[in-house]
Structure 1
Amino acid sequence: MSAAPVLVGYTANEAGADALAAANRIATAAGAPLEVVMVLPSEARNSSVPADAGYERFLREQSRSWLAEASGCLGTEVATKLHLRYAESYAEGLIAAAHEFGAKLIVVGTAGGGILGRARIGSVANELLHSSDVPVLLAPSGARAATTQGVTRITAAVGTRPGADALLESAIRLARATGAPLRLLSLVPIDLPAGLDAELAALTSTVHAEDVLDEARRALPDGVDASVETAAGASIEAAVRALDWHPGEVVLVGSSRLAAPRHLFLGSTAAKMLRELPVPMIVVPRTTRTT
């Protein structure tokens, strides 16, 4: 059975190039096809204003030209298809396209004006990260310049709150698909309620981390390594800055408990991590473990 497609929301700018590069790395590592999608404003977006047929034709032709240029940057390692879609919003069009193609990941770039190597959430990413029922990867600024091929390591930021099981399952699936080692990052010491006894917090962190590691090792095939690391720092941001990050690494985080079932909602912990991460982050929908 072939791997599910990776879908990238492409725009003809630096953010689009970053998204395309990150999506290509994931697709290459997982042996998955790549669906490159440009979303144009819906032709029915405003029925009170007559459509300019000439402008719409120009936009369509220009978009096809941009898609062709994007395809030329990808090489031949990944099976790629190019698509134009119309929707009321860019995010809505990407989610609909993901459903249409059976994609298991939507990749978008960061907003303009961000720090090189970091992600800054723009309007499209913000809408996706608070509504999509498909995992979303946000490519940091400058991802297009990365020389690392494939995925060198997967880090899953695991806690004890509801939804942690779905995150672990997604991380294991990605590790199996790419063959990349899995690092489980325990956020328990930082993510526990304020005022909890320090010794109890440390004990809880150690026991939880080892339990999760055992589960991951049982699920991973031979040859795929798994390790655990406990976050240390006065804050999430400090902990992220103190960790080492591989150039070809990908981070997975779960959705907030405020998320609707099977949908994304970027929580405060993940948002704090995102501001400091130099590597792509995938946000996984809040859902229960699947069979």
Structure 2
Amino acid sequence: MRYVVGCTEDERGREAIALARALARAPGAELDLVHVLPGPGDQLRLAQEREYQQYLAGRADAWLDKALALVPADVTARKHIRTADSFAEGLIEAAEEFGARLIVVGAASKGLFKRFTVGSVANALLHASHVPVALAPSGYRPPRDITRLTCALGTRPGAETLLDVAVDAAAMRHVPLRVISLVTLDAGPGSSAAEVESWAKSHAEIALAKAVEGVAKRTLVTAAVASGDSIEDAIERLDWDESEVVVIGSSRLAARSRIFLGTTANKMLRALPVPMVVVPRDHVRLDEQPELPADSD
């Protein structure tokens, strides 16, 4: 099970590695640290430009050696330099080449501490990737272990698949799963407060029952309702563990097996103080189950 990590020579790159380190605690996880150089245009036919490209590659290789040193010795990690028209394109191509289950990147460096400001690379990934994308907030530091997985769940198409993905990931990692009902954030302007509250509680109870059945006693499951005057307000009212990760689905407008970040998810992203994993539409699994050793006679 391989994760592609977008590595840049700045704080954003270190935050991506920090999140990848935390996620790599899953059994069988391996990290591919990838730096993408701009694709050579016609001007690079000139010897001087080719030499500059070689200089950039050498600098990237030296920095990737330092990045590898940040990965714990018990986690398999490799370094790669790719060339593409954009950083996001290079990461997507690397994920396809390696059969990666996840792409990990850092938030834009101008974001508030432990908040997301979606930069151009993350934005491109969140509109094109065919595998889940994990985003580290600004200032993120790796916890010793991920202590909880939170699944932010609405009622729109794809919600049931997302819950299955979250249940699978929590059970495999042996961490508690919290299911957050986003019904109040999906409610239309014509709904009364009492109707929305009743609907939200019912939705949370149904999701909780399905999650409990899915984990089959492999881990603890709880449920909560996100409510507030705005999406940001709802997120702020919930309690957050610095060592948890949020899983959310892509918009119903996304093409099959692709990510397209919807309005609710985008606003959540900017308010969250913890990492977020965005799962493509109709995606069935976040992690591969590790193979069991064959019985020896």
TM-score of the alignment, normalized to the shorter chain, above 0.5: yes
RMSD: 1.5
> CA contact under 8 A between 1:236 and 1:273: conserved in structure 2?
yes
> CA contact under 8 A between 2:7 and 2:16: conserved in structure 1?
yes
Mapped to 2, the partners of 1:10 and 1:178 lie a distance apart of 25
Mapped to 1, the partners of 2:215 and 2:65 lie a distance apart of 38
2:53 paired residue among 49, 52, 56: 56
Q: Secondary structure at 2:118's aligned position in 1?
A: coil
What is the deviation of 1:31? 4.0
Q: How does 1:26-175 map to 2 (within 5 A)?
A: 26-43=23-40, 46-51=41-46, 52-143=49-140, 145-146=141-142, 148-175=143-170
5+ long unaligned stretches in structure 2: 286-297
Structure 1 stretches of 4+ with a deviation exceeding 6 A read: none
What is the deviation of 1:273? 0.8
Partner of 1:218: 213
What is the deviation of 1:288? 6.5
> CA contact under 8 A between 1:237 and 1:276: conserved in structure 2?
yes
Mapped to 2, the partners of 1:123 and 1:153 lie a distance apart of 29
Please tell me the residue identity of whatever aligns with 2:35.
Answer: M
Q: How does 1:170-209 map to 2 (within 5 A)?
A: 170-209=165-204
> CA contact under 8 A between 1:155 and 1:185: conserved in structure 2?
yes
Mapped to 2, the partners of 1:118 and 1:72 lie a distance apart of 26
1:23 paired residue among 17, 20, 25: 20
Please tell me the residue identity of whatever aligns with 2:252.
Answer: R
Structure-2 change in CA distance of 1:221 and 1:66 (3 Å): farther
Please tell me the residue identity of whatever aligns with 1:113.
Answer: K
TM-score, normalised to structure 1's length?
0.93
Partner of 1:242: 237
| Count of paired positions | 283
Mapped to 2, the partners of 1:134 and 1:30 lie a distance apart of 19
Mapped to 2, the partners of 1:37 and 1:173 lie a distance apart of 27
Q: Secondary structure at 1:117's aligned position in 2?
A: coil
Mapped to 2, the partners of 1:131 and 1:124 lie a distance apart of 11
Partner of 2:222: 227
Partner of 1:254: 249
Mapped to 1, the partners of 2:70 and 2:24 lie a distance apart of 14
What is the deviation of 1:40? 1.0
Identity %, equivalent residues: 45
Q: Secondary structure at 1:28's aligned position in 2?
A: coil
> CA contact under 8 A between 2:21 and 2:72: conserved in structure 1?
no
Post-superposition CA distance 1:29-48 (Å, at most 9, x none)? 444111111111123xx225
TM-score, normalised to structure 2's length?
0.91
